[in-house]
Amino acid sequence: MSILVNENSRVIVQGLTGKEGLFHTQQMLNYGTLIVGGVTPGKGGQISLGLPIFNTMEKAVKHTNGNVSIIFVPSAFASDAIMEAISVKMKIIVCITEGIPIYDMIRVKSFLKGKNSYLIGPNCPGIVSSDKSKIGIMPNIVFRKKGNIGIVSRSGTLTYEAADQILKIGYGISTAVGIGGDSIIGINIKDVINLFLHDIETECIVLIGEIGGQLEIDAAKWFKNLPTINKKPIIGFIAGQTAPKGITMGHAGAIIGKEIETAQSKMKILETCGIHMVKSLYEIGIRVHEIMCDKIRSNKINNIL
């Protein structure tokens, strides 16, 4: 299994004919993603990368039965593209675009309420279910082996590094979700962890957080109060441990506004909530191996008893 997307996800690319859209659509096709068409206003009827282009999402869905969209639309128009995807009932909407104005995202969040769509992003690397579907800009080679480790991350590049470590140590990724680093986003860390907890394929979860905001804290406190039988081991890392207060680090959401939003405070809180914290990104692979070995030993003991 996997979460959110799989080999049957039918993907429509909004903004396919632009430079970024063309490049990453080709990479997704190379990965094996089932892309059924693209949308670029004014270019309907054209063919690009062997895919039909439509003027609107409504026409694209009508002719392709697409149920997932990915957005490579400039920031000034990205919120309209998201809401267009929501209006045609896309199951999953992945917005790669960065720099969307906060006011625009407030409108999007309001429009999203009560709808049956998951928004991933904006300003995110997307989602990949290994050997099934990649909807985003994550490097193909890092997610070439499916497995039982799930990743949820606020950072794009750190997601790739963690996945590469896990791969090199002999494990694979079930699904990796980059939720984005902006101050207003769609799906959050708690939502993704909850999906992993219900996924029989995922046995261990890696959480990569950052300074700023309280998404990691909210997820950890929620996790702490779950019944033990519903839990899976979570390995946590918080980036920005040397970041000064009040300075934006990397993107809009990574800025410390309160003491509780520092890396050190988050690490302490997450650890008290039962998250296996590591201080260095390069310890993630080792910690995954230790926890998975512990699970195997525990299962053997339980089988003997």
Between CA 84 and CA 210 the distance in angstroms is: 31
- Which residue in 214, 216, 213 sits closest to 205, CA to CA? 216
Which 3 state secondary structure label does DSSP give 228? helix
Single out the catalytic residue among 63, 198, 251, 276: 251
CB 116 within 8 A of CB 91: yes
Size of the chain, expressed as the number of residues it contains: 305
276 is catalytic: no
Q: Count the alpha carbons within 13 Å of 189 in the hemisphere toward its beta carbon.
A: 25
CB 150 within 8 A of CB 162: no
Residue 303 CB neighbour total at 10 angstroms: 7
Please provide residue 177's backbone torsions phi and psi, each rounded to the nearest 5 degrees.
Answer: -125, 120
Q: Catalytic residues, which ones?
A: 251
